[in-house]
Structure 1
Amino acid sequence: MAQAAMLQLHPKSGLHLTRLGLGTAPLGGLFAPVSEAEARATLETAWQAGLRYFDTAPQYGNGVAEQRTGGFLQSQPRTAFVLSTKVGRLLRPGPLHKSQLDPKGEPFFKGVPQLAQVYDYSYRGTLVSLEESLERLGLKKVDILYIHDPDADNRSVAEVMQGAYRALLELRQQGVVQAIGVGMNHTDWLLEFAQAGDFDLILLAGRYTLLEQGALQKLLPLCAQKGIGVVVGGVYNSGLLAHPAPGATYNYLPAPPEQIERALALQRVCQRHGVPLKAAAIQFPLGHPAVVSVLTGARSAHELKENLQMFETRLPPSLWHDLVAEGLLAGDVPVPQEA
């Protein structure tokens, strides 16, 4: 069996997640439009490769990614896949929220209905969000429900716990969803949530990568202690580790020079070992025992096939040794072991 399709049981939730999952933000037109045909081909390629964990959200294409993902999964056996979506943003007619716009004032998601994303982490808003997501998906249930980016609207942890978290707890108790979590790209905020609540999973985007491992200090040890599974997204740091060069993006914005130089240094070590930087980047997070799955985003079947190839590329143990020797990884960072 291919490494990407191998199932990993998360004991706390009872879910089996494939080591590689498909993140669907690109299928909602992130940065560039994606046609219905391209989206369908990407989803079909993921399924044929054995990927069975799919992650989506209302934010992704203002509902378009949910519609496309659900439209494909409707024809698959419901017990054969794991699906997650998110709460915290309701889609409504109106002016776009500032978080929907890039520094030039253009929408991040292209070629999709330009609906306003209204931040709502209330108890009632959470229930409405799930109801509307299921309608867009055309499915009766999702397996995992994440609270999405409360930091983007500067909501306090206490407010979110009183509203959205309380709703998620009830939904899990009622068996409406099997697992609950929170997802964002701020390690400190995730740490607060992991300390405050009884979460099954967290989705950590861009903060545990080959480029940066700040989550290793407190967040990942706490998750391991509490049995919280960690799903890692953003393994290429929104592009920098895919194509390190001036003009590359980091955190969805132009990368700072010092980050570009670090990425280039990582690439040089990988080149000495005859492996692509992307292969090391996509495999790296699974070296930590708390990490249960890595999400890969792709806007086309071609991109997904490349990511699959990178995930299956053999990485020599000496690569990790040399990254430590070069000061690009700390000596105590857990790294993937050869199967």
Structure 2
Amino acid sequence: MSAPGDAPVGLGLGLLSIGRTWGYRSEPPPPEADARRLLECAVEAGVRCFDTAPAYGSSEERFGAFLATLGSRREGLLVATKFGEHWDAAAGSSFTDHSYDALRRSLDQSLRLLGRIDLLQVHKATVATVGAPDVVRALEYARSLGISHLGASISDVAAAEAACAVGLYSHLQFPYNTLNRTLEPVFALASRHGLQVLVNRPFAMGQLLHDTPRAREVALRESLEQILRQSFTGYVLTGTKSVDHLRQTLAAFRSRGG
């Protein structure tokens, strides 16, 4: 079940913050040049997993434009996106639609923007949707396009259990941090079923770094240590839009052998 860029546990970059307002302090996305600088810094620093989605506003478009400049450096990267949650640019909000037609249109658009997808995940996956006929059909369509790694982005243990039971998925994505340990059982569940894990919101959308009297380096290290005490294979996804924050996170990650 390996995919490009796989490692026992690596640090990846979630790309929500370069596409729309997000985070504990609801910060807007960076200017185009700053987003490009962040992505270039990540690749140069050895980040190999990048996670985006249609519901992340302009994230796929920005990231796809960057990928087109990489040439042979694109090889070895794990480019992950999702379908199921969609972005309404006019309203400035997202909505969920897991119907086959909506999923197929979303995937076609993502492929056009990104060029190639290494991992496709069902966004806002639930017990009801992970094995739904329309979703399974859309995943089969994805496989017909050469996408062999499929995942589910879940927010509760029951959805993770259902995804494992379906037998279609190689990856599970979910939030986990020191303020939210609800999904801790999913680590063992994924391990039993041979699934890789993408941990999102490791710093609680920035809350763990802002609402603390500790130095940022200490908060980063302690937050990562809580996650890396779990047994899993996959990635921890930092959602920063700051080059400095990315470098600090990489240093903290690597300082403990990550």
Give the TM-score taking structure 2 as reference length: 0.85
Checking the alignment, whether the CA contact within 8 Å between 1:17 and 1:292 is kept in structure 2 is: yes
Give 5+ residue unaligned stretches, structure 1: 1-11, 97-113, 246-263, 315-337
Distance 1:67 1:158, change over 3 A: closer
**Contact 2:130–2:163, Cα closer than 8 Å, also in 1:** no
Q: Decide whether the 8 Å contact of 2:130 with 2:152 is kept in 1.
A: no
Q: Which residue of 2 is the match for residue 67 of structure 1?
A: 61
**Which structure is larger by alpha-carbon Rg, 1 or 2?**
1
Contact 2:103–2:138, Cα closer than 8 Å, also in 1: yes
The answer to whether residue 155 in structure 2 is matched with residue 211 in structure 1 is: no
- Are 1:276 and 2:218 counterparts? yes
CA contact (8 A) 1:285 1:291 kept: no
Count, aligned residues: 249
Between stretches 27-36 and 278-287, larger displacement belongs to 278-287
Separation in 2 of the partners of 1:203 and 1:306? Answer: 23
Counterpart in the other structure of 1:145: 120
User: In the TM superposition, what are the counterparts of 1:125-140 in structure 2 within 5 Å?
Assistant: 125-137=102-114, 139=115
User: Is the CA contact (8 Å cut-off) linking 1:187 and 1:204 kept in structure 2?
Assistant: no
* Identity percentage of aligned residues: 27
* Counterpart Cα distance in 1 of 2:163 and 2:99: 16
Among 11, 19, 41, the residue aligned to 1:20: 11
Judge which range, 195-204 or 162-171, deviates more.
162-171
**Secondary structure of 2:183's aligned partner:** helix
Alpha-carbon shift at residue 160 of structure 1 (Å)? 5.6
SS in 2 for 1:182: strand
Structure 2 unaligned segments of length 5 or more: list them: none
Residue correspondence of structure 1 range 5-154 to structure 2 within 5 A: 12-17=1-6, 19-29=10-20, 30=22, 31-33=26-28, 34-60=30-56, 62=57, 64-76=58-70, 77=72, 78-92=74-88, 96=91, 114=92, 117-137=94-114, 139=115, 141-150=116-125
| Distance (Å, rounded) in 2 between the aligned partners of 1:22 and 1:159 | 25
How far is 1:25 from its partner? 0.6
Structure with bigger RCO (C-alpha 8 Å, 6+ apart)? 2
Which residue identity does 1:209 align to in structure 2? N
The aligned residue for residue 153 of structure 2 is 183
- Per-residue CA deviation, residues 306-332 of structure 1 (Å, 9 max, x unaligned), is 222221234xxxxxxxxxxxxxxxxxx
Q: 1:239 aligns with which of 203, 206, 211?
A: 206
1:72-116 per-position Cα deviation (integer Å, ceiling 9, x unaligned)? 11122232311011101344565x3xxxxxxxxxxxxxxxxx3x5
TM-score when scaled to structure 1?
Answer: 0.66
Q: Which amino acid counterpart does residue 26 of structure 1 have in structure 2?
A: S
CA contact (8 A) 1:286 1:293 kept: no
Q: Distance in 2 between matches of 1:214 and 1:276?
A: 24
**Secondary structure, counterpart of 1:117 in structure 2:** strand
